[in-house]
Each structure stands twice: as structure tokens, then as C-alpha cells.
Amino acid sequence: MDYISGLNDRQKEAVLHPEGPLLILAGAGSGKTRVLTHRIAYLIEERKIFPGNILAITFTNKAANEMKERVAELLGGDIGYIWMGTFHSICVRILRQDIDKIGYDRSFSIYDRDDQITLMKECIKEQNLNKDIYKERSILGNISSLKDAMISPDTYINQNYNDYYRRNVGELYALYQKKLKQNNALDFDDLIIKTLELFRADPMVLDYYQKKFKYIFVDEFQDTNKSQYELIRLLADKHKNLCVVGDDDQSIYKFRGADITNILNFEKDFPNTKIIKLEQNYRSTKNILNVANHVIKNNSERKDKSLWTDNEEGNLVVVETLPDSQEEAYFVANMIEKLMVEGYKPSDFAILYRTNAQSRTFEEVFIKRGIPYKIVGGLRFYDRKEIKDILAYLKLIQNPVDDISLKRIINVPKRGIGNATMGKIEQYANEVGESIYSVLQKLDDIPDLSTRAKNSIKGFVEIVNNLMRIKEQMSIKDFIEEVLKETNYIKELEKQDDIESRTRLENIREFISVAVDFEVKNPEGNLEDFLATVSLLSDVDKTEDLKNTATMLTVHSAKGLEFPVVFLVGMEEGLFPIFRALDNESELEEERRLCYVAITRAQKLLFITHAKIRTIYGNTSYSLPSRFIDEIPKNLITTTEESSNLGNNKRRLVNIVDRTKRRKNNTVKSQENKDKVQVGTKVNHKKWGIGTVVQIKNKDEDKELVIAFNEPIGLKRLLLSIAPIEIVKGD
């Protein structure tokens, strides 16, 4: 079989590379998997390399299986002798053979996340530490990062001896490792760390595998962390036939420990490295690639390359400015409906955003429009645990006989009210024919409850009763914030301080945005109306066919995927690039790489949208376009009014304009007095009361007011055209 037919010149060069280290810089959509599989097949069939002398490492089981299938298809036979799999699966094979040489039994267990949490709970208890301060998930996240960086417990303790909290984390790390050893168990990070330990402890084992693996392949090399890189370096040290494939412009997993310097400095660690750049893209149009190239060239931490294609010129990239975040969602829905008339299917569309919380607005609009969709890498907004929890609190407060909602949240956050206690309460409620909340008001009548359980329940009932009393006195947004405060829901998540808890906090803040939107549209609406509206949005038919649906996902989740039509939404400063990256050049470059990944997911059409005003995490603010938009030459972009290649492409703004007018009429009083607002004017805000205008700035055709309200509200920035304020008479 000819293993180079159909390949371009650079791909052929990579497949036929003779000996020595090889760095393949594979741009987005450049056919890297094809090159890898053809090179492996070429070595076996043409160079007569024994398959057992080949090691191929990937990051996911899916990628490993795809590689196996393609190599097997090329060779037309069994490839069982090739060692092909993820870092973890390869290390398990090595450790099952020789882990006894470092004091473990070969029948070691591999602990999953639940096992790790159980073990860490034991450690925290044994160290007599406050479990409210030392959260299992947070501590395990710290330990995982330390293992990736190959930092031992003793080293960490010595480095942080004068920091009480960190020193205790180090002590927990040491105890955790001790208990793992006692249980003859490893966690996932240990699989790599213990393989490295084995190689250092027994040079004969290392020598065996160095001789065995004459040719080593590593996919997605830009995603490797320090320990993974060290493993590869050791294994390849004898033959130096290491072929790594990756793209420094797609290194977006720093938060997981990925170290971009592994690929940037590869040839320093492996002298005489042959570097081959795969720059021909088979996925996107010329215009889309030009946009991607102009954005990414602003990064300094990269190897120079520029994607090109023989594909058609294609449409100009559409950059659309929308009045606000909701109109952004309507714009996307309108364009999808229009393009479906022109022959596109729902599955051709992807909506990419920086954070999961952004999906909510699009979900609501898609539900109203009947556009089928699925969420990748996350649950639908209203299916997320934290949203269901908060809704359960609100439903119980509005409707105390809702036993389902009560049972969901009576021990959330944890109050020591277990299943056994709830079983007794529920049984008694059934016997007397009352709701659970009703019988909780008379705890002494319920048999067999411990004093501790009664005290915990009394605290819960007191919170709910108090919230019931004040629900009519506050706006819905303020009331939800009060619920979150009184129940300690936010406080508990903040204590955990890991990626999962931070994501949950973002989603809760976005739920507050739901309340803000509801109040703007329904000034007279109450909690009951709000819950009814949300129920209609969340009670979607779960049995719909998910095969032919539009896809909503974060840019991180989109890596490796491609779609005919991509909507890259929320392209605003502070959102994309994310706010925390604005004053950190390294973080900003990672955000730009993330933007590059997003752009290169598009095959035929790319829409980039940003809103002038965005309500997210409960705050409404004026937004500036992302700096990444400014990095695109004007001749490569258009707006929908200018784009003639999409057919009859007039923007369908009638509904948008009407809705915006209605919103303004609902929220802004004394429109005729707008011109009278000046610095020093006293105004009355619908929620925040009396305030004084202390600054006015021109914003496009609008004005931004800075208004000083009484504490705890303080200074607020509002756009004059939509601010729900009226001038105080006599001012």
C-alpha cells in the first residue's frame, strides 16, 4: 500500500521522516491524525518495525480508539502489539508489571473521585481540622496540581511552613499519600507519578522500556504537563525517535496544568529536532482562516506559522453589534431560522461562548422559537443542581405544602438532617395527613427525633419562616439574594473554592440575571409569576431527538470539533477575554489562543457577536467590544446589512425594535425630562431609591450616568436611555 498518496508535501515529509526527534506543528484542521496514523503504518509495513516497539500516547480514550481503528484499517490486520492509549492507561500497564519494586502489590486499586473524597474526609477528621474550612474537593484539587508539577508533600510543607492554611494542606497531602499506600491504592495522578518513581528507583525497568519503545508518538503535545513531559523524556532518552504532534496556538488548558513551554522549547531538550509545519487547512474558507491568522499573530509566545487553504474564498466573517444580551440571542435565532430555509440543518450550527452561564439566554430564546438544541460539556441551565436547589427554596417559600421541594433542600447546604430523620418525619406527616413543612412547625409531636436533629430542623424552619415573612417586601432579585445569604448557599460554595464550585457560583449569579430580566419585562410581577415563567422555560420536553440539534458549548469544550456555521457570542472585554486576564499578559495570550480555537471551528460561516449592554451574573453593565475584534482587519468582516452572499439578508429587526421600545416604556419614567438630568440631579430608582448623579459620560448615542445611592448600594453605572429612574420633583 502507498502510505503517502493523497498527502500534501509537508504531510509526506512527516510520514517519511527517517530517524531522530520530530516536532510536527499541526495547525487547526491540517490533518494531523492522518499524518500520525500513516507514519505508524509506514514504519510497520515499509520499515519493518515490530509493532511492539511502537508507543503511541493520546489524551483521551476516544482519540486512542480512533487512532487504533485507522491504523488497523491501513494495515488490514491485527495491531494488538502496538502500545496505544492514554498516559494513564500506558502507566497502568507498566505499573501492573513492576510496581512491587517500589513497595506496592501488583493488584493495586485505582481510586476514583468518590473514593478520593472519602479518603480525604478521613484525613481531615484525623488531623482534627475544621471541615468547613478544609473542603475535600478543594484540597484534592490542590494535591492534583502539586502532583502534576511533581512537588512532594515534604517540599510543599517546607515551602509554606509559615502559612498556617497551606502547611495544613501539605500535612493533609502527606497523610493522604500515606493512607493510599496503606490501602495499596493509587489515584489517577499517582499513575504517572509512581511510574516516574519506579523508573528512578529501578534503572533496569527504565532501561527495559527505553529499549522496547524504539518509536514514540505523542498527540496533542501542547497539552502535556510537567510530569507527563518528564515521562516522555525518560522513555525516549535512548533512541530519540520521539514524534510529537501539537499546536502551540491551541494550548488552552493551563488551568489543568498544561505547560506551553513543553512544545515551545522542545528542540532545546531534543537537539537536532526536525520541525515540520502543517499549515494547509482542509476545514475552513480562506476568509475564516485569514481572520484566525490576524488574531493569533498578536501573541508573542508562539512559533511562527500561518494557516492557508485551497478551499473557496467564502463569505466575509459577520461581526454584529447588538443592543443587549437578549437581542444577541434573538439575532442568533433569527439567523439560524433564515439559514435553515436556505438548506442548513440544526446540527450544522454551534453557539460558542466563554462561560457556561451564557447559555441561559440562548436556551430561553431557542425554546420560545422551537429550535432544537443540546448542551455539550454541561447540563441545560435549568437542569443544573444549583439552579434546581435555588428554585426549590423559592417554590417552598411560595408554596409550603410542596414536599418535593422541601425534601430537596432541607439538608442543602448540609445541616445534619439525614435520611433516617427525614424518613421519620415523612412517615409522621403521612399518618396525620399534613405536609412535611406543617409538621416541622410542631417537632415535639414527632416521635423518636434526637435533640440534635430537632435543633438542626428548628434552624431550617426559622430561616424559611423568616423568608416567607419578607418575600413581599423586596424585589425578586433582592429576595433571591437574601435567600442565598440566609441559607448560606453562596458561603458554602465560596469555601470550597475549586473549579466546580466557581462554575456553580457563576450559574447562580446568572440566575439572578433571570430575575433582573423578568422584573424589567414584568414590573408588577411577583414571586409566583416569576416561578411560573421559569417553570415554562425549564419544563422542556426531555425526549426530543438530540441527533439533529444545534449545539451550545464553551470554547474549551469545542476543541477538536468543527461545524459548518459557528456563532461566537459574547465577544466583549471582561467576558472574552475574561476579566481576570486583562492585566496578565500570559493569561491574555491564552485567551487569544482560545479565541483562535473558536474561530477555526467554523467551516463555512462565522458570526461574531457582542452586546452594548449585558446582564450577566445579575449585573447590567455597558460593554466594550473585545480587543480580539479590533485585531481583525476591516476588509475581512461585514455586518448582516452589508452581507449579500447570504441571500435576502436584511436584518429582521422589527420585533427587536418593538421589544426594545416596550422595555423602555416599562422601565424609564419621565422620558421627556431626560435632557434635564445633569450632575447633581437627584433621581429615584425603582429598586435602589433616591440617588444623586455624580458623573455623566457620552456613550455612542447614549449617556452613562454614575449615580451615588445610599449604602450598601453605593455607586452604580446606568445608561440614561434604559435606566428605570425619574427625576425627583423640585430638583
Q: What residues are annotated to the active site?
A: 32-33, 219-220, 250, 601
Question: Positive or negative CA dihedral for 698, 704, 705, 706?
Answer: negative
Q: Is 477 annotated as a binding residue?
A: no
Q: How far is CA 168 from CA 136, 141, 143, 245, 501, in A?
A: 13, 15, 12, 40, 21
C-alpha cell at 378: 454541561
Residue/partner pairs of 459-463 with CB below 8 Å, 24 or more apart: 459/415, 460/410, 460/415, 460/417, 461/437, 463/487
Question: Positive or negative CA dihedral for 356, 358, 360, 365?
Answer: negative
Phi and psi at residue 345, in whole multiples of 5°?
Answer: -100, 160
Q: Is 730 annotated as a binding residue?
A: no
Q: Is 31 annotated as a binding residue?
A: yes
Q: Is 33 annotated as a binding residue?
A: yes
Q: Provide DSSP, 458-522.
A: HHHHHHHHHHHHHGGGS-HHHHHHHHHHHTTHHHHHHHH-SHHHHHHHHHHHHHHHHHHHHHHH-
Whose grid coordinates read 429598586? 687
C-alpha cell at 374: 443540546
Say if residues 519 and 525 touch (Cβ distance below 8 Å). Answer: yes
Q: Is 28 annotated as a binding residue?
A: yes
Q: CA-to-CA distance for 382 and 373, rounded, in angstroms?
A: 14
Contacts of residue 376, defined as CB under 8 A and 6 or more positions apart, other chains included, come to 551, 552, 553, 557, 558
Amino acid at 322: L
Say if residues 595 and 553 touch (Cβ distance below 8 Å). Answer: no
Say if residues 187 and 209 touch (Cβ distance below 8 Å). Answer: no
Residue/partner pairs of 415-423 with CB below 8 Å, 24 or more apart: 415/456, 415/459, 415/460, 416/452, 416/453, 416/456, 417/453, 417/456, 417/457, 417/460, 421/449, 421/450, 421/453, 421/457
Of 376, 452, 386, 384, which is closest to residue 421 (Cα–Cα)? 452
Q: How far is CA 496 from CA 120, 136, 209, 388, in A?
A: 14, 8, 41, 19
Q: CA-to-CA distance for 605 and 431, rounded, in angstroms?
A: 63
Q: Is 487 annotated as a binding residue?
A: no
Contacts of residue 384, defined as CB under 8 A and 6 or more positions apart, other chains included, come to 378, 504, 507
Residue 155: count of CB within 10 angstroms of its CB? 13
Any alpha helices (H) in 370-434, and if so which ranges?
A: 385-398, 403-409, 419-432
- SS3 of 51-115: HHHEEEEECCHHHHHHHHHHHHHHHCCCCCCCEEEEHHHHHHHHHHHHHHHHCCCCCCEECCHHH
b vs e for 410-441, b when ≥16 Cβ sit within 10 Å of the residue's Cβ?
Answer: bbbeebebeeebbeebeebbeeeeeebbebbe
Phi and psi at residue 109, in whole multiples of 5°?
Answer: -90, 155
Say if residues 512 and 481 touch (Cβ distance below 8 Å). Answer: yes
What's the chain's Rg over C-alpha atoms? 29
Q: CA-to-CA distance for 709 and 684, rounded, in angstroms?
A: 10
Q: CA-to-CA distance for 663 and 554, rounded, in angstroms?
A: 30
Q: CA-to-CA distance for 250 and 221, rounded, in angstroms?
A: 10
Say if residues 611 and 358 touch (Cβ distance below 8 Å). Answer: no
Say if residues 360 and 514 touch (Cβ distance below 8 Å). Answer: yes
Residue 138: count of CB within 10 angstroms of its CB? 19
Of 147, 104, 105, which is closest to residue 256 (Cα–Cα)? 147
Annotated binding site: 26-33
Give the residue numbers of the binding site for ATP: 26-33
